[in-house]
Amino acid sequence: MKWKCRYLSQYITILAAVQGLIMLLLVVGCIMASQQAAWPMLLTVTLVLQIGLCFVIYLWIIRPYRQAERMVSLFLEGYSLSSLDNRSMSLSPASARLTEYVKEELNANRLLKLSKRQAQYRALQNQINPHFLYNTLESIRSEALVAGLDSVADMTEALAVFFRYTISKVENLVTVEEELQNCETYFAIQQYRFGPRLRLQIDCDPEDKEEIYRCRIPKLTLQPILENGIIHGTEFKIGAGKLRVKLERTEKLLTILVSDDGVGMGEAALAQLNEQLDKSGRAFQEDKEEHTGGVALVNVNNRIHLLFGEEYGLHVFSIPMVGTDVRITLPIITSNRELMQSEVIS
Amino acid sequence: MKEEVLRMDRIACMEQGVMELNHFCLDIDAGEIVGLIPINDTGLPTLLRLLRQNLPIHYGYVYYRGKLVNHWQESDLSYNRIAVIESRSGLADDLTVADNVFVLRQGFKKHIIRRKVLNRQLEPFLRETGVDLSADTCARDLSIFPRFVTELVKAVVAGCRLIVLMEPGSVISDARLDTLQQILRHYANEGFSFLYVSRHYEEARQICTRAAIMVNGQIAKVVDTADTPPEMLQCFGVEAYTQMVRRQERGHPTSEATPALALAGIRYGCIKGLDLVVTAGECVVLQDLNNHILNDLITLLSSRQKPASGILTVGGHPLTWSRRREIAVIQQQPTQTMLFPELSYMDNLCFTLDHRMPAIWRRAAPRTSIQRELGPSLGPQVFDCPVEELSPKEKYDLVYTRVLLQRPRVAICVQPFMRADVEQRMQIWQLMERLLGKGISVVILAVNLADSLALADRLVRVRDGCVQAVYTREDFASLPASAPWHNFWVGNDKREAAEFPKS
């Protein structure tokens, strides 16, 4: 079996002992060397051993130490949660226990549940009895139909469908098609408010449409972003607003671009929002429920990070008075088998 | 299904403690030509370095051809097969085109090079480009456009699926740029991808389907060029610059009495009978459509050589060595080419003052006087600062103030806006206005019009060494629509210009 130290402190002890032996060799050599001719050889051997020791110190101590230091600093900056898992070596048994403790505190499943709760928070405020809500909406619809108010009936129906999807379907992942349907329902409700001022366009390459629509994505990924686009983008815009959902896929990646042609945001606000998204670890560490802005985006981003890893997630692009794009990158998951391969979900 | 060639995801990269790239996201698919419009220079050199080599990054992920090649946890310093073609040659000067394309290729292991075989192998590639180029031509003898094409072919042969073109529009003439764009489209159809870096959205729009607007090291937005007219991008300081251009008066006051500069039937090198008259205080843009004559013209105007035939006069007198200071040549990228780091700021400033003040180097009094006079405008601290440590703005001030002190009749500006970001363009613009305000004629030598046109009183187009066409400001609207600020010259925008009277 290959022997390997677990802690840097063990390496330090071993290398200190080796250094001691080298010094001892030098001292003993000095005492023993009676002839002048033996000195160069003694010095050469000591020098070679010393250089070798320096090399080993670099490989075993300095490099892992720097790596560990960088990972911890990135974790503290909020960039990454996974960096703690990737630490190849701990400084000492006590620091290893400390890391384990922090990892336990930041347990992915726990965070995922917390994040899901945050995502559904607003929608679940009235979840004391969802059936009561559906029944009430159905009653309103019936009354509206009897009174000949078709638009009220349609609106009530759309609201019921929206709530049913949001509250009742509790799976982690849904198909893109289901999520898009929910977006269209949400958009239909908003259109009662905005009328023809607001338009929604869904673009997808016809060749890839079937495959893309079968892909699984976290529930309530698109609707909060669409809502953001309406509230922060097009609502403040003078004139008509257009929302666009563009779906593309590569071999391994599903990219969804939610765009609005609203008021956009300045460079500083954009950088701040992307900072929040990139440093999603910070949101978990601080266990924040309230942010300065972009709550929905941060929440969706956190769920994606927890479900699929930090290489996926959200990014925002924006130019003032041109519009905002939210790009969502996700892995291609089309079947339940692929779904179960995800450690967090299983 | 799209094929991903490059994906840079949430890149944060620091250099010397400064965050050069932050939240940087860019993706390019196979067969796509994507524009990159840097509003300023922040992060652009870092981006090029990261494309070429997988250097350590602070955070983020780089995927090339679907494979994760660099990420924040591990950077293996390996090189990516991504070619970058710049205004500076990337070819070995002493080798032929064929040698550059094949012999310098990674993985070329033959010990005996058979020139005929190489030439034969290169022939189909050159035929594809449609450019008349001999495989035996030495790289040193190539002008800019054939060199660009050679580097392009070299990248294609080397298997680079992504090729970055750095501001081709600033060094290649309009006609050749069209040919280059046709070549790019041809290779894009074959699956090669391009990142087309240009300071001008209008230029990128001609060829790119999408353009990424880069500001302060982050991509602000990726726009569909078909849906996004240039007017929509009037932000990030571009607006101020646009307004400055629109406020431009209809020409500069000129004196017809004596021409400041006159070239009559000049022949030298590639110049074949060039006629040009520039009046005092006039701004003329001389656009070389073939990019052949600029070097020869600079040689003549710097008094380094005499023309083979024809007459070259300055202020009515033939240009001689003793009158050389009557023409000031401001080279392209003057902050890099016209400053002497080993000299002090003051020495750099007074470098061309000897004809006006012969005692300038012997006596300290004139220099003290100059420092006192210019201190308030240049900033008193710059005089004690090593030239290398000056900011780009201070360097531009130094170069142009030197010319102002020299007080020539004519200032020749070689591609003055080349590689300048929006802020620098505004500064250069103002500095040239100062020259014109002092009655100094400005001749802008350009291969591509870029920003020069809006400042010009006249545009002189030169092809094959002689004048092809002359446009006055009234004729600028008849220029091709791809000309920068073209909208300014056509009807609607002329009316808009009236709304911004010069204060």
pLDDT, tens digit, for every residue of B143-199? 888 999 999 999 999 999 999 999 888 788 777 888 999 999 999 999 999 999 998
Range of the domain at B471: 243-498
Do the Cβ atoms of A329 and B9 come within 8 Å? Answer: yes
The string over B322-356, giving b where at least 16 C-beta atoms fall within 10 Å of a residue's C-beta and e elsewhere, is: ebbbbbbbbbbebbeebbeeeeebbebbbbbbeee
CA A23/CA A10 separation, integer angstroms: 20
Do B163 and B267 fall into the same domain? Answer: no
Q: Among all residues of chain B, which has the CA nearest to that of A72?
A: B73
- Sort residue B28 into left (φ over 0), alpha (ψ -120 to 50) or beta: beta
Residue ending a domain, among B186, B202, B236, is B236
CA torsion, ordered B407, B412, B415, B419, to nearest 10 deg? -20
Average pLDDT over residues A92-102: 77
Residue whose token pair is 């005089």: B383
Average pLDDT over residues B19-48: 92
CA A53/CA A45 separation, integer angstroms: 12
Average pLDDT over residues A15-26: 85
Q: Does B21 map to a domain?
A: yes
Range of lowest pLDDT (A316-325, B234-243, B303-312, B443-452): B234-243
Tokens for A163, please give them.
């709530």
| pLDDT classification of A283: cutoffs 50, 70, 90 | low
Do B122 and B255 fall into the same domain? Answer: no
Do the Cβ atoms of B23 and A267 come within 8 Å? Answer: no
Query: What long-range pairs does A289-298 form, CB within 8 A, spacing at least 24?
Result: A289/A118, A293/A269, A294/A228, A295/A118, A296/A224, A296/A225, A296/A227, A296/A228, A297/A224, A297/A225, A297/A228, A297/A273, A297/A326
A71 to chain B, closest Cα gap in Å = 8
CA B415/CA B431 separation, integer angstroms: 14
Whether B22 and chain A come into contact, CB under 8 Å, resolves to yes
Do the Cβ atoms of A317 and B221 come within 8 Å? Answer: yes
Q: Does B469 map to a domain?
A: yes
Is the pLDDT confidence value at A313 over 80? yes
Angle CA(B236)–CA(B242)–CA(B243) in degrees, nearest 5?
110
Q: What is the pLDDT of residue B401?
A: 92
pLDDT in tens, B282-295: 899 998 887 788 88
Q: Looking at the partner chain, which of B4, B12, B219 has a beta carbon nearest the beta carbon of A253?
A: B4
Does the interface predicted TM-score (ipTM) exceed 0.85?
no
Do B216 and B354 fall into the same domain? Answer: no
Chain mean pLDDT for chain B: 85
CA B302, B306, B307, B313 torsion-angle sign: positive
A-chain residues near B65 (CB < 8 A): none
Range of lowest pLDDT (A143-147, B77-81, B279-283, B441-445): A143-147
Q: Is B316 helix (H, G, I), strand (E, B) or coil?
A: coil
Whether B55 and chain A come into contact, CB under 8 Å, resolves to no
Average pLDDT over residues A269-275: 90
Is the pLDDT confidence value at A83 over 90? no
Do B257 and B193 fall into the same domain? Answer: no
Q: Among all residues of chain B, which has the CA nearest to that of A67?
A: B73
Q: Does B503 map to a domain?
A: no
A282 to chain B, closest Cα gap in Å = 15
Pairing mode, strands B162-166 and B193-197: parallel
Closest C-alpha to B219, from B416, B6, B16, B77:
B6
Do B197 and B310 fall into the same domain? Answer: no
B-chain residues near A320 (CB < 8 A): 235
A34 to chain B, closest Cα gap in Å = 51
Do the Cβ atoms of A79 and B4 come within 8 Å? Answer: no
Domain total for chain B? 2
Is the pLDDT confidence value at A168 over 70? no
Beta-carbon contacts of residue B108 (< 8 Å; ≥ 6 apart): B102
Sheet with B18-29, edge to edge strand ranges: B18-29, B4-15, B59-64, B67-71
B-chain residues near A315 (CB < 8 A): 9-10, 23, 25
DSSP letter (8 states) at residue B79: B
Q: What is the percentage of chain B residues whose pLDDT exceeds 90?
A: 32
Average pLDDT over residues A62-78: 78
Do the Cβ atoms of B10 and A320 come within 8 Å? Answer: no
Do the Cβ atoms of B73 and A86 come within 8 Å? Answer: yes
Do B229 and B254 fall into the same domain? Answer: no
**Position with higher pLDDT, A122 vs A262:** A262
Residue ending a domain, among B212, B236, B260, is B236
**Position with higher pLDDT, A133 vs B390:** B390
Residue ranges of B 427-446 with Cβ closer than 8 A to chain A? none
Q: Check if the beta carbon of residue B253 is closer than 8 Å to that of residue B281.
A: yes
Tokens for B499, please give them.
């709304």
| pLDDT classification of A5: cutoffs 50, 70, 90 | low
DSSP letter (8 states) at residue B209: S
Domains of chain A: 8-105 (no CATH), 109-341 (3.30.565.10)
Q: Looking at the partner chain, which of B29, B61, B215 has a beta carbon nearest the beta carbon of A267?
A: B215
A-chain residues near B61 (CB < 8 A): 311
**Position with higher pLDDT, B249 vs B312:** B312
Do B407 and B285 fall into the same domain? Answer: yes
| pLDDT classification of B400: cutoffs 50, 70, 90 | very high
A219 to chain B, closest Cα gap in Å = 23
| pLDDT classification of A247: cutoffs 50, 70, 90 | very high
pTM (two decimals): 0.73
CATH of residue B127: 3.40.50.300
Do the Cβ atoms of A327 and B25 come within 8 Å? Answer: yes
Do B310 and B351 fall into the same domain? Answer: yes
Q: Among all residues of chain B, which has the CA nearest to that of A87?
A: B73
Q: Among all residues of chain A, which has the CA nearest to that of B232?
A: A322
Do B120 and B251 fall into the same domain? Answer: no
| pLDDT classification of A220: cutoffs 50, 70, 90 | confident
Across the A/B interface, how many CB contacts are shorter than 8 Å?
85
Q: What is the pLDDT of residue A338?
A: 66
A-chain residues near B215 (CB < 8 A): 267
Q: Check if the beta carbon of residue B28 is closer than 8 Å to that of residue B51.
A: no
Q: What is the pLDDT of residue B234?
A: 65
Query: Hey, of B19, B21, B59, B62, which one would you mutate to test binding to chain A, going by the most A CBs within 10 A of its CB?
Result: B59
Do the Cβ atoms of A311 and B61 come within 8 Å? Answer: yes
Task: State residue A134 phi and psi, 5-degree precision.
Answer: -60, -45
B-chain residues near A83 (CB < 8 A): 73
Q: Among all residues of chain A, which has the CA nearest to that of B58?
A: A74
B-chain residues near A329 (CB < 8 A): 9
Tokens for B456, please give them.
């010009």
Whether B226 and chain A come into contact, CB under 8 Å, resolves to no
Residue ending a domain, among B202, B236, B270, is B236
Q: Looking at the partner chain, which of B10, B23, B221 has a beta carbon nearest the beta carbon of A322?
A: B221
Alpha-carbon B381 to chain mean position: 30
Q: Check if the beta carbon of residue B122 is closer than 8 Å to that of residue B52.
A: no
Q: Looking at the partner chain, which of A80, A86, A317 has a beta carbon nearest the beta carbon of B220?
A: A317
Average pLDDT over residues A227-248: 85
Do B144 and B106 fall into the same domain? Answer: yes
Q: Looking at the partner chain, which of B10, B23, B71 has a beta carbon nearest the beta carbon of A271?
A: B23
Closest C-alpha to B426, from B238, B167, B149, B181:
B238
Q: What is the pLDDT of residue A129?
A: 56
Query: Hey, of B8, B73, B236, which one would you mutate to test binding to chain A, going by the most A CBs within 10 A of its CB?
Result: B73
Q: Which amino acid is it at B365?
A: A
Do B214 and B358 fall into the same domain? Answer: no
| pLDDT classification of B497: cutoffs 50, 70, 90 | very low
Q: What is the pLDDT of residue A346?
A: 37
**Position with higher pLDDT, B374 vs A105:** B374
Q: Looking at the partner chain, which of A250, A253, A317 has a beta carbon nearest the beta carbon of B219?
A: A317
B-chain residues near A313 (CB < 8 A): 10
Do B253 and B395 fall into the same domain? Answer: yes
Q: Does B128 map to a domain?
A: yes
Is the pLDDT confidence value at A120 over 60? no
